[in-house]
Amino acid sequence: MKVSTVIFDFGGVIAEEGWAKGIRVIAGKCGHEPESFFELCVQAITETGFCVGKVDEYGYWNYVKKQVSVPMSVEELKAEILPRFVVRPYVIELAEKLGKNYRTAILSDQTHWLDELNARDGFFGSFQHVFNSYHDGNSKQNPSYFTETCNKLNIFPQEAVFIDDNKGNIARALGVGMNAVLYETFEQAAGELKKYVEI
């Protein structure tokens, strides 16, 4: 089936992965071992439902602070994370080029931060659709989110190619019938994308 739609992850594809970098910086500032603190923060996302809109950032960080000492305000924590999401202009350029002949979308396990980042950088305008787990109440941890996204786009999964830097997300997308490209470098991902679309 011919591909009609190209779907991009945000952190790690459209932009540098600010979350992972910021959390490790916060760990250092708070005197914690970076990897164990990162794992704790990732687990807290699932346990609180932060990325599917069940709590806001205050609820999320209050939960983390009950597990371990984090002597920083929510504003200070955000200031270590959001600036590290640096949009990659060459990915935006690719999306805009593809948008002339294909439908393009963002599919992100993000929070309301995605809206704040767009207010700062204005990247939503380079895509035709934006799907954010925080607003949709579902996550790429669930195969159903991929199916729901295709349904909202009124396409069969086989019509979409999904680009993400997370191997688990790639596996789940493939599992529902989507085409998928694991983003490791821009050159590699763009090269693999050419198997499905004309660039």
15-39 tens-digit pLDDT: 999 999 999 999 999 999 999 999 9
pLDDT value of position 82: 98
Please give the helix or strand (H or E) that residue 75 lies within, else none: helix 74-81
Cα separation values, 116 from 73, 75, 110, 119, 195, Å? 18, 13, 11, 5, 34
In b/e form, how buried is each residue of 138-154, taking b as 16+ CB within 10 angstroms?
Answer: bbbbeeebbbbbbeebe
pLDDT value of position 22: 97
Amino acid present at 16: E
pLDDT value of position 53: 98
pTM of the full predicted structure? 0.96
pLDDT value of position 197: 98
Torsion angles phi and psi, residue 46, rounded to 5: -65, -45
pLDDT value of position 51: 96
pLDDT value of position 58: 97
Q: Per the structure block, which two tokens stand in for 127? A: 């895509």
Alpha-carbon span 147 to 28, nearest angstrom: 39
Please give the helix or strand (H or E) that residue 81 lies within, else none: helix 74-81
pLDDT value of position 90: 98
Which residue ranges of the chain lie beneath pLDDT 70?
Answer: none
Q: Give CA 1 to chain center in angstroms.
A: 26
Of how many residues is the chain composed?
199
